[in-house]
Amino acid sequence: MPEPRYLSVGRVVRPHGVRGELRVEIITAYPERLEQHTYFYLARPDSLDVAQRYLVLGMRFHKKALLLQLEGCDDRNRAEELRGMLVQIPIEEAVALDEGEYFLFQLDDVRVETEDGEWLGQIVEVIETGANDVYVVRGPRGEVLLPAIEEVVLDLDLEARRMVVHLMPGLLGDEM
């Protein structure tokens, strides 16, 4: 699977005020790094690789959100047109990850099998719960929800696109 060109760091929630400012929900673990960017790329969620580049004229943090002023977005109507867009940065400008860390997009379609070799399916979604992520795996047993904890995830090999898991009692819903 080819690596995406951009990494999403926010989502335009709505216009803020009448001068084209955007209220952006922050979806990165490193919001403080957003201030270093002079350009952002905006794209629709259904066409992430078709992104439009915007010069940042101003930004400030406000109540767990980012207020963003972009070149060419100078009134509320134009800001409204950008509602729902994803705010992205080029993937090469993303934070360097430590050993064992990964971006959530890297888990898309990773094959999941048990420590006994049973194929459970592929990761189709990651649910962020606050305590730990939950991997949604779709395969022969239907949809399986696996907590992203070290007692369950025994091995993750992103190069091979493979995850090995330990099924704790109750995870498949048929063992109690």
pLDDT at 176 over 90: no
Residue 15 pairs in a beta bridge with 22
- Sign for the CA dihedral angle at 22, 62, 94, 97 comes to negative
In angstroms, the Cα distances linking 33 to 16, 47, 53, 93, 99 are 22, 25, 18, 10, 20
Residue 125 pairs in a beta bridge with 136
pLDDT tens, residue by residue, 57-81? 999 999 889 999 999 999 999 999 9
Mean pLDDT of all residues belonging to the chain: 89
Nearest CA to 88 out of 34, 133, 132 is that of 34
Rg of the chain taking only CA atoms, in angstroms: 19
> Would the CATH topology of 6-93 be identical to that of 104-165?
no
pLDDT tens, residue by residue, 6-25? 889 999 999 999 999 999 99
Backbone φ and ψ for 75, nearest 5 degrees, come out as -150, 165
Helix, strand or coil, per DSSP, at residue 92 = helix
Give the whole-number percent of the chain exceeding pLDDT 90.
60
> Looking at the domain that runs over 6-93, which CATH code has it been given?
2.40.30.60
Residue 128 pairs in a beta bridge with 133
The residue ranges of every structural domain in the chain are: 6-93, 104-165
What CA–CA distance (Å, rounded) separates 76 from 62? 18
Any residues with CB less than 8 A from the CB of 29 and at least 6 apart, and which? Answer: 95
DSSP letter at 144? E
* Cα maximum dimension of the chain: 59
What CA–CA distance (Å, rounded) separates 75 from 34? 23
- Sign for the CA dihedral angle at 22, 26, 27, 33 comes to positive
> Looking at the domain that runs over 104-165, which CATH code has it been given?
2.30.30.240
pLDDT at 131 over 70: yes
Asked if 171 and 134 count as a contact pair (C-beta separation under 8 A), the reply is no
pLDDT at 124 over 70: yes
The pLDDT of residue 174 = 63
Q: Model-level pTM? A: 0.71
